[in-house]
C-alpha cells in the first residue's frame, strides 16, 4: 500500500494531511503559506514525490445547495496544474463543506491566535477531508 495525500486548498494557505502506509490513519502534515501559485504547486509535488503518493484527495468547496461556486472552480483549476506536472497521480474530490468548522471545533481548546498563526485550521481540515475519504473507501462508497 501507499500513502494518500489530502489537500485543503485555499488561495493563500493549503492544508496538507497524509495517511500512514496502511491507509488507516490520517495525520496532519503541513500548511503551505504562499500566494505564489508555482511555489505552492512545486511544494505539493515535492511532498508527493517524497512520499511516493499515487492518490491525492482534494476538498471541493460546495455550496449548501450542492452547487459549485467560484472557489470550487478555482480549486479544480489549481489541481489541474498539479495533474499537468504529475500525470501519474489519481485525483479524488471530496465535498469539504463544514470541514473548516469541524477543524475549529476540534481545536477549540487552544488559543485562537495560535491556531491562526500556525495554520492549524487548514491542516486539520485536510485531516478531516482525508478521514472522510478513508471512511468512504472502507465502506465501499468510493
Tell me how many domains the chain contains.
Answer: 1
- Calculate the CA dihedral of residues 65, 71, 73, 75 and round it to 10 degrees: -120
CA distances from 33 to 21, 24, 106, 142 (A): 26, 28, 21, 31
pLDDT in tens, 42-84: 999 999 999 999 999 999 987 777 777 788 999 999 999 999 9
pLDDT in tens, 17-33: 999 999 999 999 999 99
- Which pLDDT score is estimated for 16? 97
Q: Is the dihedral of CA 60, 62, 67, 70 positive or negative?
A: negative
Task: Note the pTM of the prediction, 2 decimals.
Answer: 0.85
For residue 108, count other CB atoms closer than 10 A to its CB.
9
| C-alpha span between 12 and 114 (Å, rounded) | 18
Q: Which domain holds residue 14?
A: 4-139
CATH code (residue 65): 3.30.420.140
Lowest mean pLDDT segment, chosen from 61-70, 83-92, 101-110: 101-110
Proportion of the chain in helix, strand, coil states, percent, rounded to 5 = 45, 25, 30
- Which pLDDT score is estimated for 28? 93
- Burial label for 46, CB within 10 Å (0-12, 13-18, 19+), is exposed
- Collect all residues with Cβ–Cβ distance below 8 Å to 9 and sequence separation of at least 6: 58, 59, 74, 75, 78, 79
Average pLDDT estimate for 80-92: 96
Q: What is the DSSP letter of 9?
A: E
| C-alpha span between 4 and 20 (Å, rounded) | 8
pLDDT at 106 over 60: no
Amino acid at each position: 500500500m501507499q500513502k494518500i495525500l489530502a489537500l485543503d486548498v485555499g488561495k493563500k494557505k493549503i492544508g496538507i494531511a497524509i495517511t500512514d502506509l496502511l491507509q488507516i490513519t490520517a495525520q496532519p502534515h503541513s500548511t503551505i503559506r504562499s500566494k505564489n501559485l508555482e511555489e505552492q504547486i512545486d511544494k505539493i509535488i515535492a511532498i508527493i514525490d517524497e512520499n511516493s503518493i499515487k492518490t491525492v484527495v482534494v476538498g471541493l468547496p460546495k455550496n449548501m445547495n450542492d452547487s459549485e461556486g467560484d472557489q470550487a472552480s478555482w480549486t479544480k483549476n489549481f489541481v489541474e496544474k498539479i495533474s499537468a506536472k504529475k500525470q501519474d497521480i489519481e485525483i479524488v474530490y471530496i465535498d469539504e463543506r463544514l470541514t473548516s468548522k469541524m477543524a475549529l471545533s476540534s481545536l477549540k481548546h487552544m488559543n485562537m491566535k495560535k491556531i491562526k498563526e500556525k495554520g492549524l485550521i487548514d491542516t486539520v481540515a485536510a485531516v478531516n477531508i482525508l478521514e472522510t475519504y478513508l471512511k468512504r473507501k472502507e465502506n465501499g462508497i468510493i
